[in-house]
Amino acid sequence: MENTVLKVEDFSAYFGDNKILKEINLTVTKNIVAALMGPSGCGKTTLIRCVNRMHELIPGTRISGRMRLNDQDIYSMEPIVLRRKVGMVFQKPNPFPTMSIYENVIAGYKLNGIRRPREEFDNIVEQSLKKAALWNEVKDNLHRKGTFLSGGQQQRLCIARALAMNPEILLLDEPTSALDPKSTSQIEELFVELKQNVTMLLVTHNIAQAARVSDVTAFIYLGELVEFGPTEKMFTVPKDKRTEEYLTGKFG
C-alpha cells in the first residue's frame, strides 16, 4: 500500500533467551504521529530500536519476523544504508560537542563523507532548523558550538540533524523525558507541525503526552501489542481491559 510507511509483521526480538517482543503486528501510515506507550520494560524502546537496527549493537540479540520500511525489508538492507533513511532522536539531547551548530545539522552528510556544494548545505541547514523551530533562535550563531543552547534547544538541534537527512520515518525515544515542562510543550507543539513533513514513531512513558500528541497509539505490555488504534478512541473507549487498567493507573 502506498500509504504505509512502516509495516511490522509477526516481529519478535530476543536478548539471549529472553523473548522481549512477542509477534508484534502493526502498521504506520504516512504523515502521522504514532505513539508507543506502556509500562517500563514492556519492550517499546526495543521495538523502536529494531526499526533502525540499533539494538543489534548489543551482543546477544536476535530477531524473527519482518519489518518493512516503504516496502523494503529492513533486515535485508545494509544497516548503514538503513540508518541513513531513518532518523532517530534520543532521550538525552546529544549534539556533537566538538562541532558548531551548522556542522551539527549536516553531521549526517559530513561524517559519511557525502559532499554537496556549499549553497546546498546552507539551504539544508536553514530548512532543517526552520522545520525544527530553531532557526530564529540560532541563525546569528550558526558557527558557534552548540553548548550554549538550553536543553530544549539542544533537542531541537538533534531533531534538525535528523531531519536534514530527509528520513522516511523519524524515531523518537522519549525525546522530552530529560526536559523541563516548557521545553516539553514546545517540542510537543513542534510534533504537530512536523508530521506534515515526516512520519513519526514516538516512544513515551508519559500517557498524557501520547494522548496529546499522537494520531494513533499502540499499547505494549510485557512484549505484546495489546491494542493499537486511533488515539481518540483508545483514550475514551479502550477495547482491552489491560489498556483500561493502564490508562487509569492501576499498574505501570
Partner 1 sequence: MERHIGVRLVKDMAFKGLICLLAFASALPLFLILYYITKNGIAVIDWSFLLNLPRPIGETGGGIASAIVGTMMLIILSGVISIPFGIATGIYLSENKEGKLSNTVRLCVIVLQGTPSIVIGIIAYIWVVAPLKTFSAISGGIALSIMMLPVIIKTTEETLKLIPYHLKEASLALGVPYYKTILKVVLPAGLSGITTGILLSVARITGETAPLLFTAFGNQFMNLNILKPIDSLPYRIFYYAMSPYPEWHTFAWGASFILVVFTLAFNLIARGISAKWKIQF
Partner 2 sequence: MLEEKIIELKKELVEFATLVEAMIMKSIKGLLKKEKTLLHEVIEDEEPNANTFEIKIEELCISVIAQYQPRAKELRTVLMIFKMVSDIERMGDHAVNIADSGLFLITKQPVKPLIDIPRMADETVKSVDDAIKSFINEDAALAKNVCERDDIIDGLQTQIFRELTTFMTSGPTTIERALYLIRMANNLERIADLATNICEDVIFMVEGRVIKHHIEDNNDQ
Binding interface with partner 1 (CB under 8 A):
52, 54, 57, 80-84, 86-88, 90, 92, 94-98, 107-108, 111-112, 147, 158, 161-162, 165
Residue 77 or 211: the one with the smaller Cβ distance to partner 2 is 211
Q: Which residue has the cell 563523507?
A: 113
- Asked if residues 5 and 28 have their Cβ atoms less than 8 Å apart, the reply is yes
To partner 2, the closest distance from the beta carbon of 232 in angstroms equals 5
Residues in the chain: 252
- Asked if residues 92 and 158 have their Cβ atoms less than 8 Å apart, the reply is no
Closest CA to 229 of 218, 213, 241: 218
What is the distance of C-alpha 83 from the center of its chain? 12
To partner 2, the closest distance from the beta carbon of 224 in angstroms equals 24
Contacting range for partner 2; rule: CB under 8 A; set: 78-86, 87-95, 145-153, 184-192: 184-192
To partner 2, the closest distance from the beta carbon of 128 in angstroms equals 23
- Asked if residues 6 and 201 have their Cβ atoms less than 8 Å apart, the reply is yes
Give the span between the Cα atoms of 54 and 186, in whole angstroms. Answer: 28
Question: Considering the rule CB under 8 A, would residue 206 count as an interface residue with partner 2?
Answer: no
CA atoms within 13 A on the CB side of 204: 22
Residue 154 or 204: the one with the smaller Cβ distance to partner 1 is 154
Question: Considering the rule CB under 8 A, would residue 196 count as an interface residue with partner 2?
Answer: no
Residue 111 or 192: the one with the smaller Cβ distance to partner 1 is 111
Question: Considering the rule CB under 8 A, would residue 232 count as an interface residue with partner 2?
Answer: yes
Interface contacts to partner 2, rule CB under 8 A: 188-189, 192, 208, 211-213, 231-232, 235-236
